[in-house]
Chains A and B, each alone.
Chain A
Amino acid sequence: MQATKDSFYIALRDRLVTVDPQRTITLDGATRPAIVVAENEPPGAVPPACDAFYLHWGGARAALPSSSGLMEMECAISYRTKGSDANGNLDRGRDLASLDNDVLAICSPPHIEKYDYSTGAGVDLGSTIFWTLPVFSALVNAPPYVGRDVSVTVFFYPEVNQT
């Protein structure tokens, strides 16, 4: 499963660099593309950054028909923005739309080669993962922020000897 999580994140991160290179955040003193796997970050109390995508992995189960060995895992991509101070934060709806567009762009095409990153460098595992089109939640309005949760189901074949 870990290879699926890592491959999905790396794919979305690299695509984000291509489609919106200006969308970066500084976390723990390092500037990086504005996409983060929540479970890979320190378990501190710092609230999520604005204008960044946070991946939250959910449950996994056998995809039907279960005899094929194919599994599916839920991934929620959450993000929020408060617009820009220069525009009196009136552009938060437009900023949210920009984030929505980025999600659509980085989730397409909905498949990628699966790699094992456990040693740091990616080792091709000879299979692919693929996922559903993103499903956008209703707007989450928590002044001064507006945000959204996007759900994607990722399909994969588990690697038995994989950590």
Chain B
Amino acid sequence: MPETDTDTSINLIPGRSEAARRSADALLRVMGGQEITLRLSDPSAGDTSSQLGITPPTEEDVQIAPAVVDVMPPSVDGTMRVQVMLSAKALHAIAESYGVTDIPLWLMATRGLVYRGQMLTIRSVTSNSFAGSNYLYFLVATE
């Protein structure tokens, strides 16, 4: 049975998941602590022009730090791939401001990451968790 912060009956420290988040943040800063840009689409107008692909939704860029970007070996077709380790602490704060509850789904639905001026599509989102809380997110994005 997974441990959670409600497991006080066995005298575990409440809020201990925060320790993992802080440690992950510190690790990311030690490894370079970059900032990544997430490009979000505003809600669609839902009118005929947007359904026909004539009028795109407006977009906004959101910066998230700390993060570590690793360039992975290219795909079979030669497209660039990167893996991003991302602070859950920073990401949760931003997701909360947008009223997001399902962070992986939200990330997959964004326009993508801007890396060195290039738009990359997020292909997968995984996370590590401790005591019922995510402390690190891993994104794989490609051209």
Contacts and interface: CB of A to CB of B under 8 A. Distances in A.
B46 A37 contact: no
A117 B54 contact: yes
Nearest to A27: B44
B4 interface: no
A30 B46 contact: yes
A9 interface: yes
B43 A6 contact: no
Interface string B10-36: 000000000000000000000000000
B53 A28 contact: no
Contact of A37 (B43, B53, B55): B53
B79 interface: no
A120 B50 CA distance: 9
Given A42-B41, A45-B108, A45-B121, A31 B54 contact: no
Given A40-B52, A44-B109, A30 B123 contact: no
Contacts, number: 59
Contacts of B108: 44-46
A103 to B, nearest CB: 18
A118 interface: yes
Interface residues of B, number: 23
Interface residues of A, number: 23
B5 to A, nearest CB: 29
A30 B53 contact: no
Nearest to B105: A46
Contacts of A6: 52
A46 B51 contact: no
Interface string A107-122: 0000000000110100
B51 A13 contact: yes
Interface in A38-97: 39-46
Given A13-B51, A37-B51, A42-B111, A32 B122 contact: no
Contacts of A36: 51
